[in-house]
Amino acid sequence: MYQYSGSIHCHLSHSISVCDSGLNHMETNIVKGLKDVATLTKLAVLCLYCQAISAPFAEYVCESQLQSQNALNLTPFYNQIIAHLETVINEPDLLLGPNDSKKTGTFNGRPWENPEAIHIIRNNQHHYPHLRSLLVAFFSGALKTWKRFTKEFEPGSKISNLTPEERYLAFRRPTNDINEGSLGFLRQMYRSFPNITLWRLNARLMIKFASLSLRWLSGPHRIIL
């Protein structure tokens, strides 16, 4: 999800030339935000993080999903992200420098997902006096969070001490896509109730959604209706 949010920030961060005429209230507020230096600075930082970390991370785990990669074997991958965060904190010019640093800007050396956004941020960074310090602060916070999220992969942890055979037996997918959406719900239901029929499953869903509708209709919303 964060990867998609980061993509939105990348598009907004360089969508400054907007026509002011004929805008509704919400659009007017968005245009005001796109002309606010503090807001643009935050969008630029989020965009840089998305391009350096989130986008290549999402790309890799999705590829791993297709290749049936075991999530328990991703320790080197997480170490690579943490090392790159530390590098950017110490050397922000990897992202803000004038040179094309896609090989050093993204944590895995792949091309930028949105090179146009990187180009515009670099060319307009003189308008954002606090961009560098905010970038370092944001990446420092992200570094603490990544270390907390990957603590179970640290040396000496249970995962790091597993043998190859134990990792194989305790296989974990790198994403939870298999349990999401309607098909994911169907899979979970068949796992919990192996003998359930499709007719009974549809009946359970109808009851569930009918109950939600009745609760909504019996609440204060009925006054509006």
- Report how far residue 66's alpha carbon sits from residue 44's, in angstroms, rounded to the nearest whole number: 32
Residues in the chain predicted with pLDDT less than 70, given as ranges, are 1-21, 64-66, 100-103, 211-225
What is the rounded average pLDDT for all residues in the chain? Answer: 82
Query: What DSSP assignment string belongs to 76-126?
Result: HHHHHHHHHHHHHHH-THHHHSSS--HHHHSTT-PPPS-HHHHHHHHHHGG
Distance CA 195, CA 187 (A): 13
Which residue has tokens 């360089």? 14
Structure tokens at 135: 């970038």
Name residues whose C-beta falls within 8 Å of residue 97's C-beta, 6 or more positions apart in sequence: 122
Domains of the chain, by residue range, sit at 2-175, 178-224
> What's the pLDDT score for residue 20?
52
Query: What pLDDT, on the 0 to 100 scale, is given for residue 144?
Result: 96
pLDDT in the model for residue 137 = 97
pTM: 0.73
pLDDT, position 38: 92
Taking only the tens place, the pLDDT of each residue in 156-173 is 888 989 999 999 999 988
Which 3 state secondary structure label does DSSP give 196? coil
The pLDDT score that the predictor gives to residue 1 is 42
pLDDT at 69: 83
Q: How far apart are CA 134 and CA 117, in angstroms?
A: 18
Q: Please report the pLDDT score of residue 21 as a whole number.
A: 57
Model pLDDT, residue 46: 94
